[in-house]
């Protein structure tokens, strides 16, 4: 950060005459700070000129076809909103983790639910990745009531969240591979993919074919069939019961 103090772009911010620095200035700053692609995109979006009228956010809605897709998928799958609210899920997702029921919030569960923390093999890494992803998602939409509510609650309730939030990391939380500890079938190594559909994200977890985790997931599917769940309903991201575990 010290190296940027003498760059040509510094006076632009200090003078205060240009509240919206040019893309060229921001690109130069990104090079000086050695930002990666995600950080560079975040910087450009954060300081871009805002429209004159306040933006109105549409309510997050799960398309009917996505509910049908969830019902047909035989692997854990759910739909999340911008603030990581679970909007819809299939029985396999709930069998994998009860925290994937509609109405739950993934970030909140990660920091405030001991069972969710034990679920992740590397909870510290997962926590850091989620917070950085929230930073990326929020961008300059800092007055969004849902984000304000969620970040405020976690900042008051979790020291670890406060520490990570203060770091200002930005990252995309896309696909990858994770290992989790299920209380019934044990350790599962699962791949994760996130697929944008309209204004929401479809998240799927799946194992390598014919692997040990594949067999365990099939066992979990058989067990879940004996426990009917009401999981395929969308729910507003600001539903009141989001405030309780």
At residue 40, the pLDDT reads 55
Sign of CA dihedral 159, 162, 167, 172: positive
Q: Report the chain (245 residues): mean pLDDT per 10 consecutive residues.
A: 42 42 56 54 51 56 94 96 94 96 96 96 92 81 81 91 87 82 96 92 96 96 71 41 37
At residue 236, the pLDDT reads 41
End-to-end CA distance of the chain: 40
At residue 235, the pLDDT reads 44
Q: What would the DSSP string read from start to end of 44-73?
A: HHHSSPPPSSPP-PPPP---HHHHHHHHH-
At residue 60, the pLDDT reads 83
∠ CA(90), CA(85), CA(58), 5° rounding?
A: 110
Write the CA distances from 137 to 63, 107, 245, integer angstroms.
21, 13, 23
* H or E segment to which residue 222 belongs: helix 212-224
Coil/strand/helix, residue 235: coil
At residue 147, the pLDDT reads 85
At residue 245, the pLDDT reads 35
At residue 69, the pLDDT reads 96
* H or E segment to which residue 196 belongs: strand 186-197
The candidate with the shortest Cα–Cα distance to 183, out of 120, 245, 122, is 120
At residue 138, the pLDDT reads 77
At residue 94, the pLDDT reads 96
Coil/strand/helix, residue 125: helix
């Amino acid at each position: 950060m010290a190296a940027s103090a003498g760059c040509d772009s510094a006076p632009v911010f200090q003078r205060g005459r240009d509240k919206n620095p040019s893309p060229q200035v921001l690109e130069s700053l990104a090079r000086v700070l050695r930002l990666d692609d995600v950080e560079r995109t975040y910087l450009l979006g954060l300081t871009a000129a805002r429209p004159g009228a306040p933006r109105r956010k549409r309510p997050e809605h799960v398309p009917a076809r996505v509910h049908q897709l969830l019902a047909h998928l035989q692997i854990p799958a759910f739909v999340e909103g911008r603030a990581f609210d679970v909007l819809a899920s299939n029985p396999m997702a709930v069998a994998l983790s009860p925290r994937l029921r509609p109405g739950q919030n993934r970030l909140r569960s990660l920091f405030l639910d001991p069972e969710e923390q034990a679920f992740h093999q590397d909870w510290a890494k997962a926590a850091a990745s989620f917070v950085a992803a929230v930073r990326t998602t929020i961008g300059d939409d800092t007055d969004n009531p849902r984000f304000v509510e969620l970040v405020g609650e976690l900042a008051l309730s979790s020291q670890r969240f406060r520490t990570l939030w203060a770091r200002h990391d930005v990252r995309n939380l896309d696909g990858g591979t994770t290992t989790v500890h299920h209380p019934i079938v044990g350790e599962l190594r699962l791949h994760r993919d996130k697929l944008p559909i309209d204004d929401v994200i479809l998240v799927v977890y799946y194992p390598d074919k014919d692997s040990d985790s594949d067999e365990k997931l099939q066992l979990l599917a058989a067990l879940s069939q004996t426990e009917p769940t009401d999981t395929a309903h969308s729910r507003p991201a600001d539903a009141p019961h989001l405030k309780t575990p």
